[in-house]
Amino acid sequence: MSLKLSFLLSLIAVCSCQDFKWAWLGGSKSAMITSDESGPGARSGSVVWKQNDGTVWMFGGATHNSGNQPVLLNDLWKLDLAMNKWTLVVNGQSAAKDGKTTPPPRQLAAGCGLGSAVFIVYGGLDDIGNGLADTWVYYITENRWYTLSEMQIKIGNVSTSLTPGAHGDSAWWCDSEKLVIFGGVDHEKKLRRDMWIFSMVSLSWSEARVSVNLPKDETFAAISEYPSQRSGATTWISRDKLYLFGGNVLNENPRSNHLNYGYSADMWEYDLGRDSWKALKGGSQPCSAAGSYRFVGLPLENNLPGCRRRAAAWTDMNNNLWMFGGEGVDGNPESISHTAKSRLLDDIWHFDIERRVWTWKGGPKMGDMAGLYGEKGQPDRKNLPGSRCEAAAWSLYGKTFYLYGGLGYDEKAVGGLLSDLWTLDIHLDQQVKLNAPYPGSVFGVIFVALALVVLIAVLFFFVKGTEKSHSNKSALSGKGVEYLRLINNTDN
């Protein structure tokens, strides 16, 4: 596709009436820019976690060398959102040369953190696409990586050595003090469907009961209310429930093929309290139809994003779900076949968790589009990141979304790894107000909360200290005093 045609289609496809505005904050408008002291450079499949104070941590991913050949990373970066400044915290290659403990290079790992205490990285894919099985702990106060066993010894909890085995390109969620993973690719590039939970307090793994109890017979397992095996799913967490959309569900369609026929468009909900899955939207068959876009901004029952993998995802302040891009099927019906190559997508979708309806919010129906950058730092309805997948994404207070890098298209429609940082301000969007609590309900909640505060204050004099003694934090020995202090001071 020529540059002029790509640019024209981009202008036509972006709805000028959308309420939100993208802004390009930094990084290059061109693909394949290597890292330097100013930032992480072009990469995809990195692990990102945001602390409550706004500090963003980024580990590893895939980039390219001087010969434009793919290479995996194990560096650790920190972004100060207020200053929009990146800092290289650990140079993974240099650390390894100096004999320091550091995770081997990888991409598409799972990761999560707890307050100012730790940043956890688990699994991922190695340089030939096999799943990895190791768990790493970055101890923030010491600026040091530990293996899981080393950190367990440090805090005095060596009661369990249970681990999930190899998982790469998994679905994963950060929930308070837990990292939850589902599925992914094993050490033989086979898809998985097991579900595991890692406690960042006790630093231990356990398999979810619903996963343990899944029928071993594949026929019965297939008809269970439980997601099928997959990798590359898009995930959200909202109101103590985990959400999962799409991904690749066929072993015969590995990530390297870039073919649509194994991708899916099903939406699932996992209830943490009940330990159960529920299918919400989309069929069980992989990639049977193109995306159903209909009208921008209208929440219609028949709306459905095209099947895809590794889209960027955010949750807004009222617990609705947002999704951007990914790799998969656009609005072209001809893209559905066993031989159709996937496209990199540029569309924005909103999912109302109460009504369970998708809304196409903007971005083009067609994939493989160039970026429209505009003036640096200036939000504009005409701005739009280029089509991409495997980007890093996070949010700030559910009002502002951030997007970094990924595999996609730059300003001149050149494909490759990207290093651009974008922000999306959605607070003016009317649909963000959906699911906001009714004022009467708010006052009721405040009254109940005050009553609970009084009750807790009374109970404190009778049972002070007992809550802590019954938590899993009590399992840690005196060796973990500093670790416990950091956890107890965590504001989650």
Query: Residue 323: what residue type?
Result: M
| pTM across the whole model | 0.87
331-340 pLDDT tens trace: 988 888 778 8
Task: Give SS3 for 233.
Answer: coil
The structure tokens listed for 44 are 């995809």
Checking if the pLDDT of 444 tops 50, the result is: no
Query: Residue 290 sits in which domain range?
Result: 3-488
Count of domains for the chain:
1
Residue of 86, 87, 121 lying closest to 104 (CA atoms): 121
pLDDT at 492 over 90: no
Average pLDDT for residues 327-332, to the nearest whole number? 92
Tell me the percentage of the chain whose pLDDT exceeds 70. Answer: 82
Mean pLDDT, to the nearest integer, of 401-428? Answer: 94
Using pLDDT thresholds of 50, 70 and 90, give the confidence band for residue 427: confident
What are the DSSP calls for 422-460, one per residue? EEEE-TT-GGGGTTPPPHHHHHHHHHHHHHHHHHHHHHH
DSSP 297-338: T---TT-BPPPEES-EEEE-TTS-EEEEEEEE--S-GGG-ST
**Sorting pLDDT into bands at 50, 70 and 90, what band is 468?**
very low
Does residue 298 surpass a pLDDT of 80? yes
pLDDT tens digit sequence for 81-118: 989 999 999 998 887 777 789 999 999 999 999 988 99
pLDDT value at position 95?
77
Q: Is a pLDDT exceeding 70 seen at residue 459?
A: no
Q: Which residues pair with 26 in a beta bridge?
A: 421
Closest CA to 196 of 213, 172, 227, 224: 172
Sign of the torsion formed by the C-alpha atoms of 58, 73, 40 and 99: positive
The amino acid at residue 316 is: D
**Higher-confidence position of 10 and 139:** 139
Give the residue among 407, 314, 291, 387 at the shortest CA–CA distance from 345: 387
Choose between 2 and 337: higher pLDDT: 337
pLDDT for 66 equals: 76
pLDDT in tens, 186-219: 999 999 999 999 999 999 999 999 999 998 877 7
Q: Does residue 450 have a pLDDT over 50?
A: no
Task: Please give, one letter per residue, the 3-state secondary structure of 49-75.
Answer: EECCCCEEEEEEEEEECCCCCEEEEEE
Q: What is the CATH number of the domain that holds 290?
A: 2.120.10.80
pLDDT at res. 155: 86
**Distances, alpha carbon 355 to alpha carbons 351, 358, 434, 437, in Å:** 9, 9, 10, 15
Structure letter (DSSP) for residue 36? B
pLDDT > 80? residue 138: yes
The radius of gyration of the chain from alpha carbons, rounded to an integer in Å, stands at 22
Q: Residues 153-178: pLDDT tens digits?
A: 988 876 677 899 999 999 999 998 99
> Is residue 393's pLDDT more than 90?
yes
- For all residues of the chain together, what is the average pLDDT? 85
For 60, 109, 147, 254, 353, the CA distances from 46, given in Å and listed in that order, are: 5, 7, 19, 19, 28
**Interior angle at CA 166, CA 165 and CA 167, nearest 5:** 120
What percent of the chain clears pLDDT 90, i.e. is strictly above it?
64
pLDDT at 473 over 80: no
**What local confidence, expressed as pLDDT, does residue 14 receive?**
43
The residues near 444 (Cβ < 8 Å, ≥ 6 apart) are: none
Question: Which residues are CB-neighbours of 456 under 8 A, at least 6 positions away?
Answer: none
Contact (Cβ atoms closer than 8 angstroms) between residue 126 and residue 72: yes
Residue among 345, 269, 338 at smallest CA distance from 307: 345
Cα angle 261, 166, 60; round to 5: 85
Please give the average per-residue pLDDT across 449-473, as a whole number: 41
pLDDT level of residue 432 (50, 70, 90 thresholds)? low
Helix (H, G, I), strand (E, B) or coil at 393: strand
- Decide if 413 contacts 332 (C-beta within 8 A): no
- Measure the CA–CA gap between 469 and 471, rounded to whole angstroms: 6
User: Phi-psi bin for 30: left (phi > 0), alpha (psi -120 to 50), beta?
Assistant: beta
